[in-house]
Structure 1
């Protein structure tokens, strides 16, 4: 029997009731505008849907499901130390809406590079960064649910050099108009419980300082310049948990630019939110942001 990854976070991070989940996702998507599509890649948050579901909709709204046939999901590893990237041993990922099929051909191609490890099923099911993208993918692609595959990739704590290596490996897939990249990332995790309390008092309230810090990072990501993003992280140490998946995307874009006679691409952030507004040093919050990458 083919290994299946269960929807292990359903019921806690989002509703496991397929009817209610479908209704929620539909409402959030209906409230989001299509302003920067069709997306070839998106950046989407991965917290509980009660916190970031509305924000994530702005990224997923930019997808053209009639075009997409292959979806890569790059999520950061929260639970295991990983110096590289790892692939799922599963062939199917379950969601409360319908099952998603993992692309066995692409998985073989990636394994054959010698640069990918495997995550065991326990690691796979414990990790929420990939799973939180699955219901949204299922919803957006529901009219074509038998016509697309997914390739989940768990991204570890990569050096800039390894981000460049993986970006170069994945660039040919990004070049395919039928392929979509989903980059799973929350933004600043602020507060003593996250051991991060950067505060620029010139911004006013703490939550305004956090927003300014995130906005600076988002502006740099929009420039599609990997070294600038690396420098920003070194300067501020902003706790963007998907910084390495974002770095891999930026490197893939740079690799494509170098090999495709200056292919024009545009990345824009479309929505930003915070789980709560921090006003004292005892408060805490997590930031969420949604973005879309298009090819011109």
Structure 2
């Protein structure tokens, strides 16, 4: 059976223990203890900090214009691949990321499925890393192929070796560890759906823990690895599959890479190779090497969408009908819009008002979906998932007025004097906290610039003066219209 965008069946020859994939393996321990500390990386906290910080300091940063959707990083011992991994993680430092979904292959346990660690913590010498339990549960609930299977995580190093880098770039980071046991066509599609869902969250990034070819002579390994990376740089899933089928490239998690290429390309991503090397470059022994790469996938900022009256009217109808259908059937409408400009990716917020009072407001900051889909999903979420309010009922919907704010791309600013009250919305991010206020809020409340900054800090759960030091401040504009 050949490996392509529809079918994949790759033998994983490095697995050393076989076990059935079951759902009754028992609940996870609250803390997953380190399995390869002192082997793959230093076992001392002080030495580990020194080593990781040294790798990160030596990394060459690439200018990023847009949101980082995913990175590829290796998972060998730090002596061999640490610097390559640092090239990927250094790009993530300082970015507005709360959760890192780490996807790796299963080296020690053969099982059919995808295992997600659902709650608790992973531990390294640097301390505990919290599992994003809500996102983990959301992922598990997406398909019957996804379960928690504790043996897949117990000794697996592909997740663990990435953690010290994450801990050093973001001390408040949360993670979702995913171990891929199945390399089937179904696994590819399930993972692609999961990744698309994950990337709808602006505060989440995919970390693909992947090594390349194993134990070929140096020149042969370089040829194999470069062939696969050429397809990855183009986000070309078909070409990647063809090269794997023809044994012209190798990776240890082909299903994961295939799904990542498909998901990020569908969102409009662009891939960049940050660094390639192999173990022979470090040890000097080029007789049998292992390949490593650092890759970054970025979603470029989109041009501001200026809607005509027909598109505005259609969006408002989409918002209301989406809520109506969801309240009736629990399903999200799938019909395409009549106006083609609504097919362009854009961020948007949907605000619900009842008798002049806020009744719900949820949206997407980044342009990761077509505008009509962004509005449809945001409208449903505003009506049913805004935790400040009880869900909207079908009877109540008749009394609700819908406002839509279509967002421009975000612009990071260094000087708050750039903020124009009445024109700009604000996002403030600091130490893992984030707050957003739409442009119209400052106008409606009669705030000046300083008050706007203070209230955005409060929205983030920060002190009112948190914007003054080590905060990331973004402005955006919005096309606002209502029923």
| Higher normalized helix content (fraction of residues) | 1
Matches within 5 A, 1:19-58: 19-37=46-64, 39-58=68-87
Paired residue total: 266
Task: List per-residue Cα deviations over 1:104-151 (Å, max 9, x = no partner).
Answer: 11122122222312221x431211111111111111113xx2xx3211
Instruction: Select the residue among 264, 268, 274 that pairs with 2:272.
Output: 268
Following superposition, the deviation at residue 28 of structure 1 comes to 0.8
**Aligned partners of 2:228, 2:47: CA distance in 1, in Å?**
35
1:284 aligns with 2:309: no
Following superposition, the deviation at residue 90 of structure 1 comes to 4.9
Counterpart for residue 180 of structure 1: 205
**Aligned partners of 1:2, 1:76: CA distance in 2, in Å?**
21
**Aligned partners of 1:136, 1:239: CA distance in 2, in Å?**
25
Q: Which structure has the bigger radius of gyration?
A: 2
Give 3-state SS (helix, strand or coil) of 1:119's partner.
coil
Matches within 5 A, 1:59-208: 59-88=88-117, 90-113=119-142, 114-120=144-150, 122-142=151-171, 145=172, 148-191=173-216, 206-208=217-219
**Aligned partners of 2:123, 2:63: CA distance in 1, in Å?**
29
Matches within 5 A, 1:13-24: 13-24=40-51
Counterpart for residue 11 of structure 1: 38
Larger RCO of the pair (alpha carbons < 8 Å, separation 6+): 1
Following superposition, the deviation at residue 36 of structure 1 comes to 5.0
**Aligned partners of 2:238, 2:77: CA distance in 1, in Å?**
31
TM-score by length of 2: 0.52
Give 3-state SS (helix, strand or coil) of 1:39's partner.
strand
**Aligned partners of 1:60, 1:69: CA distance in 2, in Å?**
14
The answer (yes or no) to whether the contact 2:191–2:256 under 8 Å persists in 1 is no
**Aligned partners of 1:154, 1:237: CA distance in 2, in Å?**
25
**Aligned partners of 1:16, 1:119: CA distance in 2, in Å?**
26
The answer (yes or no) to whether the contact 1:44–1:59 under 8 Å persists in 2 is yes
**Aligned partners of 1:169, 1:274: CA distance in 2, in Å?**
30
**Aligned partners of 1:7, 1:211: CA distance in 2, in Å?**
32
TM-score by length of 1: 0.84
Task: List per-residue Cα deviations over 1:84-107 (Å, max 9, x = no partner).
Answer: 211125511011112100011112
Give 3-state SS (helix, strand or coil) of 1:61's partner.
helix
Following superposition, the deviation at residue 246 of structure 1 comes to 1.2
Tell me the C-alpha RMSD between the 2 structures.
2.0
**Aligned partners of 1:286, 1:74: CA distance in 2, in Å?**
19
**Structure 1 unmatched ranges of 5 or more:** 192-205, 258-262
Instruction: Select the residue among 204, 217, 222 that pairs with 1:211.
Output: 222
Following superposition, the deviation at residue 172 of structure 1 comes to 2.2
The answer (yes or no) to whether the contact 1:76–1:244 under 8 Å persists in 2 is no
